[in-house]
Amino acid sequence: MKAVLVVLDGLGDRRCKSLGYMTPLQYARNRVLDRLAAEGETGLVDVVARGIPNGSDTGHLALLGYDPFTCYTGRGPFEALGAGLSLSHEDVAFRCNFATVADDGTVLDRRAGRISTEESRELAESIQSMEIDGIQFIFRHTVEHRGVLIMRGEGISHRVSNVDPHGKTSAIQKPRPLDDSPESLKTAQALQKFLEKTSQILQAHPINIKRREKNLPLANYILTRGAGRLPNLAPFEQKFGLRAAVVAGGALYKGVCRAAGFDVVNVEGATGTVNTNLGNKVKAVVESLKTHDFVLLHVKATDTLSHDKKPREKAEMINRVGDALEKMLEQLTTDTYVAVTGDHTTSSEVGDHRGDPVPVLIWGPDVRGDRVTKFDEISCMEGGLGRIRGVELMPILANYLGTLELYGE
């Protein structure tokens, strides 16, 4: 028995005025997803908890059976793992942006004019490793203006605030300790020194000198956020008896899965954007199922389009995924289950994550089925799975696959 879990990021939505008061899923009315819902069992998922708007990091932890309330400290370590860095459980990791900051500390552009991957990589090389107050700082560029920072050393803590104001104010925030421990204070102070030192190096870097000549925004500051420690997760294979792989474009998803012991399948053209190569991703899923029991297929663009307030384009993306899934279904062996859901709701009218539950379907050889014939937020309310929590999805799937041990005797 095998299973594919398809996660469309930010799949859930609300009724949109521009779609005649339908949700993008209702508007898309994808025949493949509707068929799977009609033949399978459906329901709604409160991914993290009822009414709690969650991020993709906590959402994916929950969908994979790990309670984020007990294991999650921040997004940084998952981004770092997803970028291919190795991390110990004592390290503190951050996600970072190259940004343009004025002399008075005003953030002029949190993405440094969306500086290119090539330029960012060169800048990153100049600050990739240093030691401050006995703490090692390891900085790596990932894509475009983004990077990750790891702090390694004795007596540090992940309890430090974000430097990135993230649109809330216009000034850079100094890292502050988030509790009274000496570890948090030491971390915040050392991090501030690192930021000042790297800012000086970046300011004088030939890349920035060239950018200044061309009147382009300088990449002269690193904005950190999402400080966290890598949780000690029980391996997925041990928890559910399933050898697992992930097919995704974005680093975060690979990182969460790596933390759970998944194999990461790198797919050409899997970009984590609207232009992602769905055909290649689906091929990779089919291929991975030959050597694994469980494959997570992640598609990011549905979330991005909701943030951009483009519900019609989100519906189109849903249809593209449905069509790609049809090709996948043709190639699956008859003992394969397919589950489709989202990691949270992203309202295309609000342009942000919301705590509404997301629809889910499970399809497979001996799934009980229910009376629901359509896959959308409203139809799935009446499904046989009822309303479940994200952490309940994996046990339900593993039960179908027959890999769970008997509770009691």
CB of 67 to Zn ion, least distance (A): 21
User: Looking at beta carbons only, is 258 or 314 nearer to Zn ion?
Assistant: 314
* Contact region with Zn ion (CB under 5 A), list: 164-172, 190-198, 224-232, 297-305: 297-305
Q: What are phi and psi of 233, to 5 degrees?
A: -85, 140
The size of the interface with Zn ion (CB under 5 A), counted in residues, is: 1
Does 313 participate in binding Zn ion (rule CB under 5 A)?
no
CB of 343 to Zn ion, least distance (A): 9
- The CA distance from 193 to 69, in Å, is 32
User: Looking at beta carbons only, is 106 or 273 nearer to Zn ion?
Assistant: 273
CB of 204 to Zn ion, least distance (A): 36
User: Looking at beta carbons only, is 281 or 353 nearer to Zn ion?
Assistant: 353
DSSP H stretches of helix in 51-116:
56-63, 68-71, 76-82
User: Looking at beta carbons only, is 177 or 226 nearer to Zn ion?
Assistant: 226
CB of 56 to Zn ion, least distance (A): 6
Candidates 102, 100, 80; CA nearest to 89 is 80
* Contact region with Zn ion (CB under 5 A), list: 128-136, 216-224, 303-311, 368-376: 303-311
User: Looking at beta carbons only, is 37 or 297 nearer to Zn ion?
Assistant: 297
User: Looking at beta carbons only, is 16 or 202 nearer to Zn ion?
Assistant: 16
- Opening angle at CA 71, ends 154 and 189, nearest 5: 35
- Given a contact cutoff of 8 angstroms between Cβ atoms, the answer to whether 249 and 276 are in contact is yes
CB of 359 to Zn ion, least distance (A): 17
What residues between 122 and 151 interact with Zn ion by CB under 5 A? none
- Opening angle at CA 364, ends 361 and 370, nearest 5: 50
Task: Specify the length of the chain in residues.
Answer: 409
* Contact region with Zn ion (CB under 5 A), list: 69-77, 110-118, 295-303, 312-320: 295-303
CB of 325 to Zn ion, least distance (A): 22
CB of 310 to Zn ion, least distance (A): 13
Q: How far is CA 209 from the centre of its chain?
A: 35
- Which DSSP string do the residues of 288-327 spell out, in sequence order? HTTT-SEEEEEE-HHHHHHHTT-HHHHHHHHHHHHHHHHH
Whose tokens are 């991957």? That residue is 117
* Contact region with Zn ion (CB under 5 A), list: 26-34, 66-74, 302-310, 390-398: 302-310
User: Looking at beta carbons only, is 303 or 356 nearer to Zn ion?
Assistant: 303
* Contact region with Zn ion (CB under 5 A), list: 189-197, 218-226, 299-307, 391-399: 299-307
- The CA distance from 357 to 384, in Å, is 15
Chosen residue from 46, 91, 303, 370 binding Zn ion by CB under 5 A: 303
CB of 59 to Zn ion, least distance (A): 9
User: Looking at beta carbons only, is 83 or 301 nearer to Zn ion?
Assistant: 301
Helix, strand, or coil (residue 393): helix
Q: How far is CA 92 from the centre of its chain?
A: 19
User: Looking at beta carbons only, is 303 or 377 nearer to Zn ion?
Assistant: 303
Handedness of CA 66, 69, 70, 73 (dihedral sign): positive
Label the pairing between strands 2-8 and 336-341.
parallel
User: H or E stretch including 195?
Assistant: helix 182-203
Which residue number has the CB closest to Zn ion?
Answer: 303
Q: How far is CA 157 from the centre of its chain?
A: 23
CB of 307 to Zn ion, least distance (A): 6
**Residue 358: C-alpha distances to residues 153, 376, 394 (Å):** 41, 9, 15
User: Looking at beta carbons only, is 273 or 291 nearer to Zn ion?
Assistant: 273
Q: Which are the contacts of 213, defined by CB distance < 8 A and separation ≥ 6?
A: none
CB of 303 to Zn ion, least distance (A): 4
Q: Which residues bind Zn ion (CB under 5 A)?
A: 303
